[in-house]
Structure 1
Amino acid sequence: MSGHRKTILVTGGAGYVGSHTIVMLLTERYKVVVVDNLSNSVKGNGSLPESLERVQTITKCDIKFYESSLEDKDTLRTVFSENKIDAVIHFAALKAVGESCILPLTYYRNNVGGSVNLLEVMKEFHVKKIVFSSSATVYGDPQDLPIKEDHPTGQGCTNPYGRSKFFVEEILKDLWKSDEDWGIISLRYFNPVGAHHSGLIGEDPLDIPNNLMPYIAQVAVGKREYVSVYGSDYSTPDGTGVRDYIHIEDLASGHISALEKLLGKEPTPKGFHGWRAYNLGTGKGHSVLEVIAAFEKASKKSIKYTLTERRTGDVPASYADATRARDELGWTAKKTLFDMCADMWRWQSKNPSGFHRESS
C-alpha cells in the first residue's frame, strides 16, 4: 500500500469506470474528492449517489462529494479552494455514440467545454497533473491491427463522441506545449466490462444498454428477450465483429498506474512532465459470438440471439496493442473473458435493477 495521503479529484466518479477506480484509489490510501452531475447515476439514500455509498461500504473509507457539472466553474473553484488537490482523474463525459450524433452540441459543450473549464480552474490553483480517460474511438477505422499509440488519431472518427475525445486530447497536447510543467496522460481503451468482484458495484445503464455485455446480462436476467448481433458476414473467424474487451478492475488499475507515474514513483520520483498516451486492453479481440458463449458458460443461462444486418460505421475488427503500458507503466490486463462474464453476472444477478433499490 502507498504510504502517502495525496488528494485526487475524480470527475464523473459516480459512473461505471470512475466508481471502480475510486475503490482502488481508496484501497491505495489516496484521499478522494468527487465531482459528478449524476446524469448517469442513481441517487442514494443520503448525500452520495448509490454507487459511491457502495464504494464506501467496500472500502470502509469516506468520499467527499460535490454534485455539479463541469460547466459550473464557480463550483469547480469551490472544490479546489476547499481541498488541496494533488492531481485529477478526468472521467466526466457523455458517452453514448448514437446519442452524440443526435445531440452533437450537447456533447461538445459537456465533453469539450467542461474539460476546458476544468483545465482553466486547475491552472488557477496550480494543479498540473491529470489523467484523462480518453477512448480508442480516437483512432477511427483502424489502418492496422493491433492498434498502437502512434496510429493516426482524429482522421476516421465516425461520431461526435469520438471526436470530442480527440479534441480534448489535442487541447491537452497544446496545453503542455504552452507550459511544460504539466504532466498529462491520456488512456485509450475500448470496451470496459465486468464488475467489482464483490458484486456490489457494476455497470448500470439508465436506458437501453449501448454496449454488448450489459445487454447480454439483461437478457440473461430476463429483462430483455434476445441480443441482436449486427453483422454475421465480416471477415472474422465466425463472421461477427471482433472487439477489445477489458475487465473494469484491470482498467481501474491502469488509471492508478498512470497516476503513480504522474505523481512520482521509482524510477521517476519527481513525477512525469509531458503528454503521453497509453492503450489499455488485453491485446486481443473477441467476437460477439465468443462473448455470448462465454457469458452462457459463466451464468449457466441460455442467451437467445438473432443475426441481423450490419450497422453503419461498424468495422470488422478493432483491438489495441497495450505493450507501451506494460513497458512504461508496469501494467498488464490480468483477467480473462470468462472472468469478465462471471463478475458481470454476479453483479447483474445480485442487482437485477442495477443501483435502483428493489423496494423503489
Structure 2
Amino acid sequence: MRIRKFAGYRPLNWSNNQYFTQWRGNMAYKFEEILQQLQRELQAGKYPVGSRFPSANELALRFNINRTTANKISLVLLNNGILRRTGSTRAGLTVADPASAEPVIKIALIGSITHSFFAKIASGFFAAAAKNNVLVMPFNPEFKQLDSLLRKLENSGFKGIGTYSFGKLDTTLPVIYLEPDELDPPLPSVAGDTRQGGHKIIEAIKNAGHKEIAFCFADVFSDPRSARIQGMTEAALQAGWHDVEKRIFWYHRGGNSALRVLREMITAYPGLTAIATDSDDRVFQLIRAGKQLGVPIPEKITPFGFGNVEQIHHIFHFPTIEQHPFDVGVCGCETLLELIRSGNSASEKSIKIDVELLNV
C-alpha cells in the first residue's frame, strides 16, 4: 500500500550545529527528567486546576532546552489528560481537573529522540495521537531492559506500541514498526520508500553527467535486504556501472572510519566526482574527513544523502532524499489504532510513503 505525504508538514527548528554532539547525548535524559519533574509539580498543586500552564517558550527558558522539546513535553501532558486546551492553539494550555478527564486509549512509543530524524517521527506520532484523543507514553529503555518494559506494558492497560530502532519486539500487543530495517517475515510497518530514493539518487547522478562515482554505506545498513542499498545498486547496474560492488566502501562506527573510506575512494578513483551514501550523517562525516585531507566536498565532489537532516543542511548544501519522517509518525499512529480496533488482524500491513530528492 502506498500513500502520498501528509499536508501541513512543519519542519522542526534546530539551534547552532556546534552544540549538536552535546545535544545528542543529553536530550533523551533531559526530556524524561523534565517531564517527571513537571508531573510532580502538578501533583503537588503548584499549578492549580484551571490555571494557565507555562508556554513552550517559558519551559524552554526555565529548563534551558529548545522550543521543540518543550512542545513535546507539553504534548505528552496534554495527551495524558493532565492539561487541556482552552480554545485555539494560541490560547495555550490550562491544568485539567482529573475528575473530569475522559478515559482514552493508552499506547506506547518506544524509541530515542536524540536524532532529528527520529524526533520528527515522534512529533508526527504524538500529533496523530492528540487528534485521536489517545494517550502516548514515550520510552527509551536500554536493550537489556526492553523485555521487562514490554511485560509491564502488557500488564498496565496499554493497547499497542509504536517503535523504531529496537528491532522486532517480543510482545502480545499490536505493534507498528516505524522506519524499520527489512522485516522477515513482514510485519506492520510504515516507512519512507528508500528503495525508490536509491533509484532517484542514481538517476540524478546519471543526469548530472557523473562518470566516476563511489558509494559509502555504514555497516548498520549492510544487510543485503536494505532497501536503500538495493535501490542504489540496482539503479547503478541499470545505468551502466557494472562494477558497482567494487565501488562500495563500508563505513564502520568509531575511530577514523570516514578518513579511511575517503582515502580509499580517492586512491581507487582519482577522477571521483560523486559519492552516493546511505544517510546525511555519512555525508557530514565525509565532509569533515575531506577538510582534513584537503578533498573538496561538497564543492567539487558531490555527495548524495538520505534524511534531509536540518542541522546539517543548515550549514552544507547537497542533494538528499526527503523521507518525510513526520508523515511516517502520523501514519504509523493511525495505522496502529486501526490494528488495535481490528484486533491486530491486519498483521502484514506495510505502508510505503513516497520520497523526494531535494537540493539537486
TM bucket (normalised to shorter chain) is 0.3 to 0.5
Task: Kindly name which structure, 1 or 2, has the bigger radius of gyration based on alpha carbons.
Answer: 2
Give the TM-score of the pair, scaled to structure 1: 0.34
Q: More relative contact order in 1 or in 2 (CA 8 Å, sep 6+)? A: 2
Larger helix share, 1 or 2: 2
Give the TM-score of the pair, scaled to structure 2: 0.34
